[in-house]
Amino acid sequence: MRLIRSENVGPITFFQLLNRFGNAEAALEALPELARRGGRKKPFKVFSKSKAERELQSIEDFGGSLLAACETDYPSSLSVIADPPPVITVKGHKHLLNQDIVGIVGARNASAAAIRVTKTIANDLSENKIVIASGLARGIDTAAHQAALFGATIAVIGGGIDYPYPRENAKLQQQIYEQGIVIAEQPFGTVPQARHFPRRNRIISGVSLGVLIAEASPRSGSLITARLALEQGREIFAIPGSPLDPRTKGTNNLIRNGATLVESAEDILSVLKYVRLRPLKEPDIPIQPFGRSALADEQEANMARPHLMSLLSPTPTEIDELIRQTDWHPATVLTILLELELAGRIERHVGNRVSIIE
């Protein structure tokens, strides 16, 4: 917890640090020096032991628990995505996390027709022992959770495990604590912000065998979930809609590009028969990209850093492309990027890309 809660440490950096230093304690000790090498001027903020202990106590008092990626209860399907959260906070029935799961997401301002179809499909999937995952948002998410309560449902929320959002779903969130399970990546007590929701979406798709998009405009967050699901090797399902309704343009376009057209739960179940027979896609980005015998030394990194910095821009660039355009060992490039991220000078993006922060 201390390592992932420390300043500028994201999921990919977390696993790189663990692999490079062997354990979290050694990685924590190295953080200030790595950030200094990356150009950090201000003192680096390491998450203190006392803060970690207070958060753990707050989670326990709330009736929740912390689940680390190395534990057996951690969702196995989530562990193979490119950037699994190193720790999640959960409250509810943990055994649901490793059952057959289908994500259902869609418009917050959903039509009555879409809500009715979503409830029917979620209900029928539940009757077939499928766990329904969604994001507890208004509209389609709410409909999916409500229909699956009698069976099993997973709510992945954008804030802390204790924060009800949106407020009108506070009762539903309480019901899911008791009958299903709620997952949060953000620290206990965190008020959800816009930047948290794309990260929330990758967990919805990450725990699922496939994701159903019930209704989505061309620029909706639901399409972000669909894109993440595609990158994670998950199945994409979509409910078609009227071409006159802007809320269905996104789903219709998904179908046009190969998503499975869904009119009933049977359309999903027929695909899942085959999905269960094959392993989920391994991440394109290795969780542990550093070899113990191939760590970049400081002298080599100092020589390579100016060249690498010249290749970076505010436009996200694939790390593989950066490696191809330099003559340095991949470990050297990864080391420099690690230091720059800890210094707060670059930002990571989905698809194994980075950009410089101006």
For 85-125, the pLDDT digits (tens) are 999 999 999 999 999 999 999 999 999 999 999 999 999 99
Same domain for 202 and 305, yes or no, is no
The span from the CA of 253 to the CA of 107, in Å, is: 15
* CATH number where 315 lies: 1.10.10.10
Last residue of a domain, one of 242, 275, 308: 275
Which of 228, 244, 275 terminates a domain? The answer is 275
Answer yes or no: is 220 within a domain: yes
3 state DSSP class of 125:
helix
Token duo for residue 140: 């389609």
Mean pLDDT, residues 163-179: 96
Please give the backbone phi and psi of residue 321, each rounded to the nearest 5 degrees, phi first.
-70, -40
Q: Residue 24: inside a domain, yes or no?
A: no
Same domain? 270 vs 323: no
pLDDT at 297 over 90: no
Query: pLDDT value at position 238?
Result: 97
β-partners of residue 235 are 210
Is residue 209 scored above 80 in pLDDT? yes
With 80 as the cut, is the pLDDT of residue 277 above it? no
Residue after which a domain boundary falls, among 275, 307, 322: 275
The verdict on 267 and 322 lying in the same domain is: no
**Are 308 and 246 part of one and the same domain?**
no
Helix extents (H) in the chain = 2-5, 11-21, 24-37, 49-62, 76-79, 112-127, 140-148, 170-179, 196-206, 221-231, 249-256, 265-275, 298-311, 319-324, 330-342
Contact criterion met (CB below 8 Å) for 180 and 153 = yes
Contact present, 235 and 211 (Cβ < 8 Å): yes
Amino acid at 323: I
| Model pLDDT, residue 290 | 40
Strand partners, 102: 132, 210
| 269 and 304 share one domain | no
Classify residue 226: in a domain, yes or no: yes
* Cis peptide, bond prior to residue 166, ω within 30 of zero: yes
Do 148 and 243 have their domain in common? yes
For residue 293, is it within any domain? Answer: no
Tens of pLDDT, residue by residue over 19-67, are: 989 999 999 999 999 999 999 999 999 999 999 999 999 999 999 999 9
Strand pairing category for 181-184 and 153-157: parallel
For residue 331, pLDDT over 50 is answered with yes
Span 309-331, mean pLDDT? 91
333 and 219 housed in the same domain: no
> Does 52 fall in a domain?
no
Percentage of the chain with pLDDT > 90? Answer: 84
Which domain range does residue 206 map to? 77-275
- 230, two tokens: 């595609």
CA distance 154 to 179: 9
Examine the domain organization and report whether 99 and 217 are in the same domain. yes
Give the per-residue pLDDT at 96.
97
The whole-number pLDDT of residue 279 equals: 60
- Whichever domain contains 234, its CATH number is 3.40.50.450
- Say if 337 falls within a structural domain: yes
- Residue 300 pLDDT grade (very low, low, confident, very high; cuts 50, 70, 90): confident
- Tell whether 341 and 234 lie within a shared domain: no
**Would you state the pLDDT for residue 280?**
63
Encode pLDDT of 67-88 as tens digits.
999 999 999 999 999 899 999 9
Residues 305 and 176 placed together within one structural domain of the fold: no
All residues at 6 or more sequence positions from 70 whose CB lies less than 8 Å from its CB, including other chains:
none
- Residues 316 and 196 grouped into a single domain: no
| Predicted pLDDT of residue 113 | 95
**Same-domain check for residues 327 and 180:** no
In total, how many domains does the chain have?
A: 2
* CA atoms within 13 A of residue 353's CA, in its CB half-sphere: 10
- 214's CB contacts (< 8 A; 6+ apart) are 104, 105, 106, 107, 110, 114, 117, 118, 140, 144, 222, 239, 251
Q: Decide if pLDDT at 7 tops 70.
A: yes
Identify the band that residue 302 occupies on the pLDDT scale cut at 50, 70 and 90.
Answer: confident
- Read off the pLDDT of residues 225-265 as tens digits, 9 standing for 90 and up: 999 999 999 999 999 999 999 999 999 999 999 999 999 99
